[in-house]
Each structure stands twice: as C-alpha cells, then as structure tokens.
Structure 1
C-alpha cells in the first residue's frame, strides 16, 4: 500500500537568500496547475550566511532566517495545504558547517575541548589537540607576520587570523589574553592552528569528503541524533512537513540503523487531524553501483533517484557507439580508451594524498584490532596498510554495511567481487591479511568487539568518499569517451543499457520500491538532462561525429596550441551538448554569455581532474589558455566557420535529441516511482555542473510557456502530471508489464503496461532512431514489420511521433 504522505509528483526548489519561502509561495499556483503534489525543498535549517545550497548547516535547530525563517515557512506550507499539497525537506545528518564562526556547537568545542557538551557531537580523535587547517602559511610564519591577533568580540577575547577567522579562547585564558604572548596563548588552546595544506595529512576529525569547512557528525549517538533532529520531528508533528530526503546517508556510521531509527521516531509521532496521516515519506541520497541493491529492511521508501537517472540515460545510448567513440577518445587524447585505468589511477592518487590522514587512522584501528587477536600475530602495520590500500583501489560500491559484529547478507556478493578484483594487487604471501579484513567487514573474525566496530566504521567511512571523490569528482573529469555517461551515480565504463535490463529494473521497482524517487535532473548533476539527451545521439552516429570533430579540431588548432588535446575535445563535446536553444552564429551577446558559462565549467573541470590544474594549486596560465580557446571558438569575428558548422550540426540532430528528451520525460512520469521535477527543467535543461545548474529560473517565461498548447517538453509533462492526478492509484500501485516487440526494429522500441484492477496505461517509446530522422525516412517505412505482442503495428502508433501514451479506464468510457 502507498501511504497518504507519499507524493504523487515533486518539484525541487533550491532555497537561498535570493530565492526564499516567499518566492516559492508565489509559485504555488503554478506548481498546482502543473500537477505537482509536493514541494521538495533543499535544506531549510540555518546554514552559513550567504550559503547558496544550504548543506553547510550551522544550526539544525532553527529554520534559516535568510529564507524567511519559521513564519515564512509556515505561510508557504499554509498556501500548499490550501491546495492539498505537501512538503518534503532535505535533511543533513552527516555533517555541519564549521567555518566562519557561526556554529555555536563547534565554537563551544574549540573553547572547552573534550569538556564541551558538544565534543561528542563531532567525529574527533581526541588523542591530540583538534587540528584547524585554516592558515594560509605555516604557524611560525603566520605568527611572525602578525597575521594572528587577539581581539575582543561581545566582551570575550578571541584569536583572529587574517581578519577573517575568529576563534574562541579558553575561559582560563580570558583574563590574561590581552597581555599574553600570542604563541604561548595559542599553545594553551584545545586546538592547533595549521596551514590549510596539512589537512590531508594531519586532520584528526572526520570531514565531509575533502571539505575542511564541513565536520562530520556522530548521528549514531542518541544525544546527537535527538539534538540534530528535534526540529524535523516538531515540524512533522505539527503537520508542516510530510517526509524527508536524507543527504549522504553513506557517510553515517550505520546507515541502516539510522534509517530504522528515523522511521520509528517519525512514525511514532501523532499528526494533527488536518494533516495527511503517516507513515512519513523517507528517501535517501544513495549511489547504487551496477547491480547493487538497496536493502529493503532499512524502513525507507527508496532512493532520491540517481539510480533511475543512470538507467534511463544509459537506455538512450546505442551500444554500437562504445568502441568507435572510445577509440576516438584514445586517438585524440593519448589516454586510455577504457575507463577502468582512469578510475584505478584516481583512487590510488587520492588515497595517497587527499585521504592520507583518514587512511592512516583507519590502518591504526585495524592494527589495534589485530593486536587484540592472537590469531593475527604476524600481521604488521605495513601489511594491514597495504591490504586496506589495495581493497580501496578496487572497491566496487560506496561501502558495505557491517557493524563489526554483524553484516547484512547483501554484503557477501560485494566482498566476493572485491576478493576477485584485489587478487592481482596483493603482495605475495599477504592474501591472508586481505581475507582477514574482509572477514572483519563481514562481522566475523577474532579480536576485541569494540575495536572491530571502530575499525569497520573507519573503513566504511573511508570507502564512500574515496568512491565519490576519485570516481565522480576526478576520473569523470579525466575520461572523455562520451561525457553524457559521466554523471552522479553513473557507470562510465558502460555505454548502454539493453531494453530487457531496463524492463527488469522497472519490474523490481514496482515490486520493492514503488515510492522511490525518479530523477533526471538534480542540484548535483554534471550535465542537464537535455545535454545528456543530445550527447547520447553521438553514440548512434560515431562516424558522423568523427568527421565533425576532425573539422572542428582543425579550426580550433590556431587557438589551442598550448592546450592538451583531451581538454579541447571535452570542450567541443560540451559546446555541442549544452548549446543554447535558438543561439545563432551571429548573436555576439548570446555567444559571449554562453562563453562565460563554459569558462566557469572549464575551470571546475580542469581543477577537479587534477591533471593540469587543481583547487589546491591552480595553474592559472594553463586555465587561461583553455578559456581563450573557448572564447575564441564562440567569437563570431574569429570563428564564424566553426560557429556556422556547430549550429548546423545542432539543428541537424535536433529531432533525435528531442526524441531522447521526450523519452526521458515520458519514462520518468510513467514507470513505478515518484517523479521529481528539478526547478526550471520543465523547459529545456541545457545546464552544466554547479553553479550553472543552480542559476535563477525565469518563472515568468515558464508560466507563459505553460499556457501555450504546443507539443513540447512542458506540454508532455503537463499531460502526464494530469494523468497522474486523475489516476493516482494506477501510478502509485499499478504493476509493470513489458510488452513484447518483434520485427525489424524490435530493439528500438520500449513498450510496457501499468495496470491495476480498474485502469491500464500503455506506453510505447522509440529509442535510438537517429537514422530515421537524419535520413528523413518516412515513419511507416522505418518501422516496417515491427509489431507489439498484441499484433498491433508499431508503424500505426509511432509513424508521426516518438512516444505514445494511452490510458484505458472503463469507468470513464
């Protein structure tokens, strides 16, 4: 059964000081007209001043005043409730923002050390002072330059660094702080200031990935859980929210235990009579690897949709493009044609660099565990270091879910895969060490139980960020076979998903996760859904693309002499994929604006790749060369031939790209699950990675477009949302049955039915039909003898269109 709180369809808003609750309230009629049932909000708790995303929470007990505070939130909810709509909020249990001096809990820890009531809140190794890597130079140089001073703020003395950082001083030192030697004063504190460059090696507290401004929280501690979730429980109890999306659930010590506790606490709350009754709607931000299931016993409704985004995007790609596009990439770049070497190298580099401190502390935990077990006599620290290192090189998922004394059965297949993958890297005679670590991850093995829990926790909280940073935030920016296959939660090694596998995944969704989210655009995506849809066309026409690339590289050559060909080639893919609608080769202002968007993407891509530049040590000269190429190619005065050819190619493949776009839309709104619409993507989503995908949305333009009865993307969304509103039970609980397809084009048609006891939906979608559009083949000729299992000719259904949706409801016949 689907609970009353389960959304019919969500709309994601990114809140910040320039888009507040009041702005959202003004758009409630628009959302209602679209057919949205629930507003899906980015974090609403108090974040660092000026935050553009809300994930750097500094006070989880208050609604962010920059967004309008609780009064404005209540007003927004009232407007939604008047129209029978609800709210889902994004919550951040894994970490808090600790920069800028705005986090009172963190400040208390700095002032009082382990004596602070909040010391238990953060994942800190208190065997030494808390390391604060905030200085621009080593401490000695900072002291010598007088960049560290004592100032008085609100009647208390603080240490001020560079006029920017203000750090609490112990109570014991307040009386003499103004006259003490600053070096001695610093020595007495509970923290140790260091250069930001030592963070990777010296940090002794868990941060979020590699971000020193975000400190990990110990949500497994009941006191911490209660303090950080009290606001959410109150909002749910008052009927102001209907559920939550849990950010980065894999960062927690025990995700399964956390989710079960969250479910129990929310469902034990008595709701007001005028609010939809429980159970609460709970989804988790979880990256699932190929073939990795989400455990059905966590008490959640599913994921926030990255897995569907991967599945539907892969479905659009043609398998035949994999080899020629890989060869083209290798020929142009001089790099590996395959993704695996790029992933391995990135994992090795980041583990030895950005995660060195966390890696060493993980090894220390296993050394302590091994020393508590006589059976492990002979396991040296070096052996354990090598074993952990090599396991993390090849780990196929974000993490496993053991607790030191137990592990879910689903982890067994993961450990088997790891054991096979790691074999070629294990030094002779050290296989037993690897096996022992895998046994500990399985909840078995000898040694002290508390030490086992700590060691397993540290491994699992290291494997997740290694996967995220090495794969998605490094290798995806290095490997350029086809950029539409490099996105959050994607398997870049796989070009395409067979129709049969897609059907199997949807049958599984209907059975296990009928209320999981379905996303194709998010605040985290690297390329908008319609950028991916356009780039996917290249997998069907690699020969045509090769000719274009050779021509464009020749035209770019005079500007790109000092730029790595790999970077130029990824630039060309980006220019093509994100080319704005109706941008002409003579529109100087439009081209200039596009160039600045591309340059911003370029800077981030180069620094994330960490090959020719990085965030830690930007090579601004090289970045400038790359930016010059982008700006030159987008200048009508300097590159008219390139621009004319680019525009012609975008126009040429537009019908295929549009068909891909509509296929994504139709599947998102018809397969089992809750479709999410990311802000503004009801129109063409040709965005790039953040901050480009978080640009202000022109809702005045969208409202006008919504009133125009034309067969575009928005019109399809409106039609499908109206169907979902008219037939909620069908979409919420209806089964999913593939429709057999036979004949000439059977591998280019996806057809299925959704049905319940009363109503049946039939959906037919054309896939990978570039040849039809590019050669202008008449629909009936193209489909030939292709028929559905019922005997109906596909040519009768898709002769003039690429998607078909039909609902039969006997009660309305």
Structure 2
C-alpha cells in the first residue's frame, strides 16, 4: 500500500465497531479518503470509549469485534485500494480494575514479578511504608473508613484458584506466600493439606513455579468439593467483625500493594502515570523486552498486511522518543518491503519544529491546526479584545502569566509525586560525590520546580545524557528565568542541576582519593552531543554504561517526563480554561498570546512542511477543545472586536437577574464574570446555523451539550471548583444560570439577541470554514479528516466531540454537484462536504501535486489585496492555483459567505509565468479560466460563485 493521500480518523468503541466501520466503507471510499485512521485497536478497559486505557497489548479488542472483524475490515479496505492506520499507545496502560494481567502480576509478586520492570515503579521509595510496594490509590475514602465499612473484601476465584482483595471494580491478588496461612486459618484438615505446597514459598521465580503447582491442586480440590470450604477462610478475614477485620488489615499490610485513598496519589504515587491520571500507568517501552511485548500484536498485524502504518500516541511520554522511533522503524522495515508510515502525536511550541533526526513521516497535525487557525484571526482585534478581557477579569496579564501560575499550582497540588521523583534522582547524584553531598534535597527540589515551571516547550531530547544545541536553545530559557526567580543562595544548586541535567558529562563515581574538593573544580565541561546524535549510537558496541551516566540519563528522562505532563496539565487543562480573550485561540497546540499568523508566516510554515510532506494536516481531532467550525466562527470576532465588546456588556446586563449570589463571599456570584464571558463565546461559537430560538427542543438539546462543556470547563479551570474537590453547589448554580438564560421564556430576550448575533457572524464564519478546508486540502502534507466533520463541526471538548456520526445524512448529501452550486444553501454544510470531496478527487487524480509539489506564494494587488491569500503548487507539468478570501467580514453585504464580485474592484492574482495562456479549471465551481492580460486573474472573475477557488491545469474527468 502506498503512503496516504488523505486519512479519516474513526473513534472506535463498543457502539461503533469494526463492522460498523465496514458498513460505511462505501461512503468513505466515495468521499475520497485513501486511509482509515483507527483509534487504538488493542484491548482496553471494558466499556472504554476511546481505547487509550490498554489492558492487553496482545489482543485486538473483543468489544470492537476482535481480530476477525479487524481482518474483515482490512480485507475490504484493501480491495478498494485503500489502507488502515492504527493509533497505538506505547506510553501507558490502563490499571486498576481487574483486567490488566501484567499489572495484577506485579501486585501479586511485587518486584519479583515477571512484569515488575515493565512499568516505571519505584521499588525503593523514600517512604518505608512503600518500599517494595505499589501504591493503589483507588479508594473512595480513607483506607480505615473503607475497611470498617466492609468495602474491602477478601475473595476467591475458583477458576484461577487465586485469593484476592476486591474494592468495587478493583482487584488486588494476594501473594501466594500467604496461601498457607490463609488455608490454615479455617482449621480444617483438607485445607491444611492443601496448604502444604505453599509452605515456605517465596517470591523468587523458582518458587513461583511451586505456587503454580499448589494452585493446580487447590483448583482440583474446588472442582471436587466446591467453594464452601474456602468460605471458612474468607470468613476468617471478614471485615464485618473487629477481630477478623484486623486480621484482614494485617494481611493487606504484608502485600506488595498498598491500598490508599485516591487523593494520596498526588503526593505519594510511586509509579509513573499518564499526566495526573492514576488509572494509567507508564510503561518502560525503552527496555528491549518490554518493547517487543508491547508491540507483538501490531508487528504481527503489520507483517500480515492488516495495518499499513501507525500513529504513535503521546510520544513525549517516552524516556527517549528518538530512540523509540528508530527502533520502531527498524522493526517495521524488517517485516515488510514497503517503507512504514509512522506519524507521532507531538505538541510543538511556537518556533519549535519536529526534530529532523526522528525517522517518522511527521506529526498528527496540531501544528497545522494552530497555523491555519491563527491565520483566520485579524491582528487588529488582538489589543481591543485583550482590553475587554482585562476589564472583565480585572486582570491585564498576558496568557503566559496565567500559564506560569497554573504550572506553579500543578506542581504544588497535582504533580507533587512526579516532582519528587526527579528531585530524588538528582539528589542521589549529589550524594555520589564528596564535593556535592551536602547539596540538600530541598535545594534541588526548589531548583527543579523553577526549571519545570519556566520550561518553554514540552520537553527536550538529550542524547546519551547530554543536551545538544537544540535542547540548550530551550533549556537555557528556563535556566535564565530560574536564575532571575530563585534566591541567590539557590544559584549554586541551580548550576549543579544544570550540569546533572545534561549540561556536562557525568562525573565518575567518587573514590577514596577524591578528597573533599568542590564539584566545580573537578568537573571539566564536555562538548554537548550533536543535535542529531542518537543515544543508541553514542557509545561503542557492547560498552557498559557507567553508573554515573546511567544516573544522569535516568534523571534527564524523569525531568522530561515531568515537563511534558506539566505543560499539558497547566496549559491545555488549566490556563486555557482561565484566560478568555478569544476562545478560538485556546486550543491544543496553540498559544493564545500568539494571536495571529500573517500570510507570509503561513506561507513560510507551509514551505517548511515540504521537508516532511507526509505529515498530517488536521483541523479537528478527538482531543480538540472546540470544533473546527466553532473556531472558524469565533475567529470572526477578531474582525468585529468593538461590536463584540459592546455585545458582551449588553448581554451581561441583560442576564444580570439570573446570576446566583454566593452567601459565603459577598463579592462572589455565580457563574462569575470570566465564566459568564466564556459561556457567551461558547454559545456564539456552537449555535447551529439552522436553529431557531423558538425551537424549544433544539435549544434544550444545545443547552444540555453546553452544560457538559461548562462543568468540565469550570473544573479544569480549578478556580472555584475542581476535579479533586468539586464545589457542587457552585456548579449547580452555574448550570441553573445557563438553563435560565436559554429558557423558552427568554426567546424574545436573550435567545433572540443570541440568535441575531450568530446570524450576524455566521456567514463570515462559514467563509472561514471554507478557507480553512481548502488550505488543509491543498497545503503540503496529508489532509486528515476527523469523523463527521465533512459537515458542520460545532462540537465542544470531549465527550461532545466524540458523539455518534449520522452517516446516513452524509451519504444522502454526497453527489457530484459543484460546491459553488451549493453555496446558496450554505447552512446545511453541503458546500463544505462537496469541497472536501472535490479536492480529495484532485488529490487522487494527481497525488504528488498537492502532497509534495513545489509551493510558491502568489502576489496579489489591487483595492482588496489584503483580503486574499493565494499560492501555487507545481509538480512537473501539473499546476494548482489556490485562492481564498481572507479576513473579509467587512466585505460581506448579504447573507451569503461570499464577497460580491464588484467589491473586488481591480484586485488580481499574479500567476507563475509557466501558466501563461493556460486554461485553468476550477475544481470547486467547474468554471474554466484562460490566463491572459499580463498573466493575472481578476478576483471578480475567479471568486464569482465561491469565496475559494482551486484552479488546475488538470480538468475534471
């Protein structure tokens, strides 16, 4: 299978399986995508709606239909000349519950489990109560409370012949070293006999085999005698009686796990999590044996031709992403002759690009989503909108200040354990040398916290324990900010930590001849590794790594595995819900302070994309905060900043009587000024174009959706409520405010005002949508469609953006009519669907032209030149000319998202000389244009029927 032309992302779950996808295959093929891009197919926690909580890497999810259904889908996909790309999660697994066999094994056998090194567990915790144990912070209340309430119970599985403790859905196996004691507690001869094989069993691997034999005998006994004798054992550890409850407690204290209240995880979790999600445990995929075990299924599916490529989730969670990508590509290349297709989910900060030495096709497209989104914003609106927000919030700080404050809070309240892990790794290095052994834990902790808080990107990618020049470009930003923020007494510790985090080659372990000299006298600066060097290639073959190098690499990995989740939690999941200048810039992968992209900036970014022409181009994902059409409409407010500011004030006054007063704080009311302002933006952004304010059922359905968003937004903001300690009274008042202002009796008041303002901006928003769609389809790279977004995408944050897709509606709307012919009925979004289909057809006709063809910005002149973006794509003798209307809300006269031809006046696009006298066919209107008169095209001719045009030397068949 060749590389993709266009992908379509499908979110699979028990309500939309492989067979459901197969049933829509004719539609997907007719739409024109070349590859289906599936959410994770491995077995996840039962009922998972996303698949990112894998519990079994070795089996295709039965809830999705199992491997047979996946192979049926693949066969039919390949019959049509299409392909499959699978999302894959190497960084973490779902834990808790009762379905992850690897995790259950380490709960049972501790550090001697065959899977003990599969997870990032700290078996040598500084807390004596956790040494050799795994914290299990899944209890709903304090351990003693839950134990006394009888919610922690000893049970027996007759099929597995296994004793275990159960708490709700969570299962923790009892170590077989306890089985002899357990069986003897019933004081029965038959059970005493069964206890014999377990006498003296230890956790050592050779004894685990003895335990297996003992279990076989126990299983045979239960098959003959039933489970009634075992009930005597369970009664001896029942939590209903103080004596037996104490016995159960002492049994639990001897296990390789420690049951704990879920709130303890923030401070005490001794294993790496995905962000701060305690149900997801980090996997040590950097180990060769773990890498092979984790990828066993996908390698087999790839070797068999079932899947054609991989999308790697959360690449920044891995210890060494570059080395992982190298190993993955090598293994896939060894399995099939065709080069593997690999893209990675990577959030890139402003000015950051995917490392050139990563052997992947590119990213999943958040960078493009940010660039095209920023292009839709008018720079003239930045300052007045910021002033309006400052007046509402009583705070004129830029977003960066909000993000820094959020980072400080995340480290203090959510990622304490992760910060502690990094600090202890660095403190151990300090203790190795006489010259640094008096460096205190507290001083290192303080330094690491500041470095992490000020880190400008998700993470760095050092090689073999040393930072390269690209790493230092970002690390030095945090270093300088920390120097300014830390007290003078901490600067010595900062210098040491700088070295231990890859600034210098590691110092050999101390010996008796080292004396007590200072570290700075004995450490010689080392040349940093080249930016492209790989950790796997930096040492001679079979050269054992020194203890000092291992320690430094460990500290660097832990630091990177702290900065990445800190950036995500503080920015994406906190600050973006606090700062609301314009919510269309509050998106994954975006920086609200980076308000806009100029056309030259956008062109420059597209030219850089040509270096990796197989990267994805996304405008919507399963993780977006707001749908692509919500953002496109809200971007119009940047062109109407003054009008929007006045509208906000008017609506706030209009709805003042619906606010709830908070009796606990005289100045507080619900929802509060910032939450209210964000709510109005959200309503404007997601109001369906065809919704009438008098449609009570339709308005109510919208209110229910927005209510889900509102609850998540308030908790993510972590200001007056949060996930850890929700203020349900405040949340209820906010919901009541929302439903009050959208109540049927408000149809002639706020509802009418809201619908009227939406009508004012909706056509300009639709124009933005068409421009965004065309740019995604014609920029260098591979356009990625998210399920259902070929019609309107007015979705909000998950789970709203993962709602079922009405494919019957989309099939019925699919025809061969030109998009321009559908513009008059633009509210039904058929014009968007037709645009997608036409440009996918052009990509099928000339795959290289739009994917990797040369890219050249085109000059525009005339009265309205500032409202046009244009560029050419060329591959051999094939040409495509892309022209779009840009920032034109002020040029729209009527209801259509189209600038009247006469408003363009003398505006024209200058074409490449090679197009002289050529006849260009517009794939979006079916019009033909012959290039004359100085090799230019007049906008009044080209954009007569649609605000965008894609002209090509290739005519439609």
TM-score range, shorter chain: over 0.9
Following superposition, the deviation at residue 43 of structure 1 comes to 0.1
| Aligned counterpart in structure 2 of residue 173 of structure 1, from 178, 181, 184 | 178
Deviates more, 1:373-382 or 1:560-569: 373-382
| Aligned counterpart in structure 2 of residue 190 of structure 1, from 237, 253, 256 | 256
Whole-Å Cα distance in 2 between the matches of residues 797 and 439 of structure 1? 60
Query: Is the aligned partner of 1:731 residue 2:850?
Result: yes
Query: Is the aligned partner of 1:624 residue 2:732?
Result: yes
| Aligned counterpart in structure 2 of residue 444 of structure 1, from 504, 509, 513 | 504
Deviates more, 1:633-642 or 1:191-200: 633-642
Cα deviations across residues 354-406 of structure 1 (Å, max 9, x unaligned)?
Answer: 11111012111111112334554653322211211111111110000114523
SS of equivalent to 1:407: coil
Aligned to 1:356: 416
| Aligned counterpart in structure 2 of residue 372 of structure 1, from 414, 432, 435 | 432
Aligned to 2:541: none
Following superposition, the deviation at residue 775 of structure 1 comes to 7.9
Contact 2:11–2:38 at 8 Å: present in 1 too?
yes
Aligned to 1:305: 365
Aligned to 2:222: none
Query: Is the aligned partner of 1:786 residue 2:907?
Result: yes
From the superposition, tell whether residues 744 and 430 of structure 1 become closer, same or farther in structure 2 (CA, over 3 Å). farther
| Aligned counterpart in structure 2 of residue 232 of structure 1, from 298, 321, 325 | 298
Extract unaligned runs of 5+ from structure 1. Answer: 271-276
Written as runs of structure 1 = structure 2, the 5 A alignment for 1:96-495 is 96-127=93-124, 128=131, 129-155=133-159, 156-177=161-182, 178=233, 179=236, 181-270=247-336, 277-373=337-433, 376=436, 379-442=439-502, 444-447=504-507, 448-495=548-595
SS of equivalent to 1:78: helix
From the superposition, tell whether residues 146 and 397 of structure 1 become closer, same or farther in structure 2 (CA, over 3 Å). same
Aligned to 1:273: none
Aligned to 1:580: 688
SS of equivalent to 2:738: helix
Whole-Å Cα distance in 2 between the matches of residues 164 and 520 of structure 1? 38
Whole-Å Cα distance in 2 between the matches of residues 475 and 757 of structure 1? 47
Aligned to 1:504: 604
| Aligned counterpart in structure 1 of residue 78 of structure 2, from 68, 72, 81 | 81
SS of equivalent to 1:114: helix
Query: Is the aligned partner of 1:641 residue 2:738?
Result: no
Written as runs of structure 1 = structure 2, the 5 A alignment for 1:27-46 is 27-46=24-43
- Structure with larger Rg: 2
Aligned to 2:840: 721
Contact 1:130–1:204 at 8 Å: present in 2 too?
yes
Q: Normalising to structure 1: TM-score of the pair?
A: 0.96
Whole-Å Cα distance in 1 between the matches of residues 495 and 380 of structure 2? 39
Query: Is the aligned partner of 1:590 residue 2:698?
Result: yes
Aligned to 2:88: 91
Contact 1:39–1:87 at 8 Å: present in 2 too?
yes
SS of equivalent to 2:260: strand
SS of equivalent to 1:788: strand
Deviates more, 1:94-103 or 1:440-449: 440-449
Report how many aligned residue pairs link the two structures.
802
From the superposition, tell whether residues 152 and 779 of structure 1 become closer, same or farther in structure 2 (CA, over 3 Å). same
SS of equivalent to 1:640: coil
Following superposition, the deviation at residue 580 of structure 1 comes to 1.5
Deviates more, 1:63-72 or 1:648-657: 648-657
Whole-Å Cα distance in 2 between the matches of residues 624 and 420 of structure 1? 45
Cα deviations across residues 219-243 of structure 1 (Å, max 9, x unaligned)?
Answer: 0000000000011111111011110
Deviates more, 1:734-743 or 1:565-574: 734-743
| Aligned counterpart in structure 2 of residue 766 of structure 1, from 873, 885, 896 | 885
Following superposition, the deviation at residue 160 of structure 1 comes to 3.6
RMSD, matched Cα: 1.8
SS of equivalent to 1:558: helix
Cα deviations across residues 484-519 of structure 1 (Å, max 9, x unaligned)?
Answer: 111111111111111111100000001x21000000
Whole-Å Cα distance in 1 between the matches of residues 465 and 703 of structure 2? 55
Contact 2:454–2:477 at 8 Å: present in 1 too?
no
From the superposition, tell whether residues 418 and 789 of structure 1 become closer, same or farther in structure 2 (CA, over 3 Å). farther
Written as runs of structure 1 = structure 2, the 5 A alignment for 1:593-608 is 593-608=701-716
From the superposition, tell whether residues 463 and 774 of structure 1 become closer, same or farther in structure 2 (CA, over 3 Å). farther
Whole-Å Cα distance in 2 between the matches of residues 476 and 728 of structure 1? 38
Following superposition, the deviation at residue 83 of structure 1 comes to 0.6
SS of equivalent to 1:752: strand
Following superposition, the deviation at residue 670 of structure 1 comes to 0.3
SS of equivalent to 1:121: coil
Extract unaligned runs of 5+ from structure 2. Answer: 125-130, 183-232, 238-246, 508-547, 661-668, 824-830, 912-935
Whole-Å Cα distance in 2 between the matches of residues 752 and 638 of structure 1? 47
Whole-Å Cα distance in 2 between the matches of residues 394 and 749 of structure 1? 39
Q: Which has the higher contact order (CA 8 A, sep 6+)?
A: 1
| Aligned counterpart in structure 1 of residue 645 of structure 2, from 515, 525, 546 | 546
SS of equivalent to 1:804: strand
Whole-Å Cα distance in 2 between the matches of residues 754 and 697 of structure 1? 34
Written as runs of structure 1 = structure 2, the 5 A alignment for 1:513-552 is 513-552=612-651
From the superposition, tell whether residues 775 and 326 of structure 1 become closer, same or farther in structure 2 (CA, over 3 Å). farther
Deviates more, 1:447-456 or 1:233-242: 447-456
Whole-Å Cα distance in 2 between the matches of residues 714 and 602 of structure 1? 30
From the superposition, tell whether residues 435 and 748 of structure 1 become closer, same or farther in structure 2 (CA, over 3 Å). farther
Following superposition, the deviation at residue 86 of structure 1 comes to 0.5
Cα deviations across residues 619-654 of structure 1 (Å, max 9, x unaligned)?
Answer: 111111111111112112145311111111111212
Whole-Å Cα distance in 1 between the matches of residues 941 and 168 of structure 2? 72
Whole-Å Cα distance in 2 between the matches of residues 405 and 480 of structure 1? 40
| Aligned counterpart in structure 1 of residue 771 of structure 2, from 640, 657, 663 | 663
Contact 2:315–2:321 at 8 Å: present in 1 too?
yes
Following superposition, the deviation at residue 295 of structure 1 comes to 0.9
Q: Normalising to structure 2: TM-score of the pair?
A: 0.82
Contact 1:13–1:678 at 8 Å: present in 2 too?
yes
Whole-Å Cα distance in 2 between the matches of residues 86 and 313 of structure 1? 29
Whole-Å Cα distance in 2 between the matches of residues 160 and 596 of structure 1? 40
Contact 1:327–1:337 at 8 Å: present in 2 too?
no
Whole-Å Cα distance in 1 between the matches of residues 496 and 756 of structure 2? 60
Deviates more, 1:278-287 or 1:136-145: 136-145
Whole-Å Cα distance in 2 between the matches of residues 282 and 139 of structure 1? 45
Cα deviations across residues 103-141 of structure 1 (Å, max 9, x unaligned)?
Answer: 011001100001110001000000111111111222222
